[in-house]
Amino acid sequence: MSAIIDSTQRSPSAPAEPGAAVALSVGAPERAIALDDGGSVPLARFLAEVRGLAATLPDRPYAVNLCEDRYRFLVAFCAVAARGQTTLLPPSRTRAAIEEVRAHHPDSYCLGDSEPCACDAGLLAPLPHFVRVPDPLPQAPGGMPAIDDAHVVAVGYTSGSTGAPKANPKRWRDFRAGAAQNAAALADLFGGAAPSVVATVPAQHMYGVEMSVLFPLLAGAAVHRARPFFPDDIAAALRACPAPRLLVTTPVHLRVLVESGVELPPLAAVASATAPLPADLARAAEARLGCEVRELFGSTETCIIARRRTACEEAWTLLPGVRLHPQPDGTGVEADHLAAPVALADLMQLLPDGRFLLRGRQADLLEIAGKRASLGDLTRRLLAIPGVQDGAVVQLDACDAGGVRRIAAVAVAPGLDEATILDALRLSVDPVFVPRRLRLVPALPRNETGKLPRAELMALLRGG
């Protein structure tokens, strides 16, 4: 197990010497780190449970944390780190995604509060090397666990929305620097108080790690242990939290919440990420919820690097220490929390005041018959059609007889037919970019954070 240090030593947000051990968390022993309908969990109890669980873990270098309960995920994540091990974060918690990640790390084990199964020829197959998190959690005495600042505490995998998932290692020093940046980017929303966080995103997603794991650990916030999905459940979780309240969510969840009409307690702010937030939805959410909606821009590769108030501004403000280098095929990103520069496929236009505008992705840019468009803009026009609840425009992989990769679309639009939607698109889209194929479906195959894995979207088009 890693070193134990006194909780009064170096703050996790302060610079550390190379190879130094840094405290796992900040705050007084009695401060709340987690919340539920029954009250709060003080930091002292949380640390005792981290020490207790860490003592029971297998001697393997990697763990796949599958805990559904956010607090138990938090305890398990920290226990794994305290043992000097690394948490693997698959792009989803499907059996296929778990097994794909474990194929690259055969010396790993899985850790969860319930064991997933897979159906193979009608038989249920147990997950190999599965360790169930005990209930109740064990406790052990001791001081503040410390993490080697250079230790890779997590490996996050990209969502697969633009191709095969890719591994992204994260050191403890990277997470510390990123948490400090995120806290600074949100501090003005809470009037100097520590916020209560309710998150609709899974803890396993990098956005979920940043805002519902690292934010409580390293910025003094308290997080509700649930991952509410339905509006009534979100409202109940928020009511269980003291003010100031921060809702961490996605555009998909936010739209459903705004349209539900459910009554919510006062919010200090809403944070949104994982997909572009339409400006009209941001304005409707601010009017409906009575607080600022702050959109966060990031990726598994970079973590959060920028913010904006989407209801009234288009440009993004970089977080402290982040530097951009526009390139013909994307943008290079340097930051204090990145071990090395990262190349993103996003095209960014730097403004004189240091902010930037997103101009889509190189892979999203289309050129057909000498004309240009972007998949992002075409999708926005599809979603703007009255009656279209969800949708996506894609470029097919195969070429037609003329050597052109044609455009297709999938939409959720109860009460509309294909002809009506295509006629509406022709009013705002050049004829060469009107989808040659449109499939209407009851729902899109979005993952837990609202993203659309390309492989599943293409399979949906082929199946229609």
pLDDT tens-digit map of 285-299: 999 999 999 999 999
Residue 400 pLDDT grade (very low, low, confident, very high; cuts 50, 70, 90): low
- Among 383, 84, 45, 31, residue whose Cα is nearest residue 222: 31
**Which residues, in sequence order, are CB contacts of 235 under 8 Å at separation 6+?**
262, 263, 264, 265
Query: Which residues make up the CATH 3.40.50.12780 domain(s) of the chain?
Result: 4-359
Which of the listed ranges 151-165, 346-360, 364-378 does the model predict with the highest average pLDDT? 346-360
Give 12-58 pLDDT, tens digit per residue: 445 556 568 899 999 999 999 999 888 899 999 999 999 999 999 99
Residue 354 pLDDT grade (very low, low, confident, very high; cuts 50, 70, 90): very high
Span 429-446, average pLDDT: 87
pLDDT on residue 407: 86
Whether the predicted pLDDT of 229 surpasses 50: yes
Whether the predicted pLDDT of 464 surpasses 60: no
Contact 81, 147 (CB under 8 A): yes
Give 122-133 pLDDT, tens digit per residue: 344 567 788 999
pLDDT on residue 174: 95
Residue 218 corresponds to which tokens in the numbers above?
């390293």
- Among 397, 410, 407, 400, residue whose Cα is nearest residue 429: 407
> Cα 349 to chain center, whole Å?
24
pLDDT on residue 364: 72
Beta-ladder partners of 409: 393, 438
Whether the predicted pLDDT of 419 surpasses 60: yes
Span 303-316, average pLDDT: 96
pLDDT on residue 119: 44
**What integer best gives the mean pLDDT of the chain?**
87
Residue 160 pLDDT grade (very low, low, confident, very high; cuts 50, 70, 90): low
Pairwise CA distance, residues 270 & 276, whole Å: 15
The structural architecture, per CATH, of the domain 369-463 is 2-Layer Sandwich (3.30)
H or E element at residue 22 = strand 21-23
pLDDT on residue 1: 42
What is the reported pTM? 0.81
Whether the predicted pLDDT of 217 surpasses 90: yes
- CATH 3.40.50.12780 assigned to domain 4-359? The reply is yes
Span 431-458, average pLDDT: 83
- Among 322, 428, 419, 430, residue whose Cα is nearest residue 382: 428
Give 77-113 pLDDT, tens digit per residue: 999 999 999 999 988 777 778 888 888 999 999 999 8
Query: Which residues make up the CATH 3.30.300.30 domain(s) of the chain?
Result: 369-463
The helix/strand/coil state of 463 is helix
**Measured between alpha carbons, how far is residue 335 from residues 16, 178, 250, 322, 345 in Å?**
17, 9, 24, 4, 17
Residue 310 pLDDT grade (very low, low, confident, very high; cuts 50, 70, 90): very high
Whether the predicted pLDDT of 410 surpasses 60: yes
Q: How many CB atoms lie within 10 A of CB 97?
A: 19
Whether the predicted pLDDT of 7 surpasses 70: no
pLDDT on residue 13: 47
Pairwise CA distance, residues 221 & 352, whole Å: 35
The DSSP bridge pattern shows strands 167-171 and 152-157 to be: antiparallel
pLDDT on residue 2: 40
pLDDT on residue 368: 72
Span 182-198, average pLDDT: 93
pLDDT on residue 117: 53
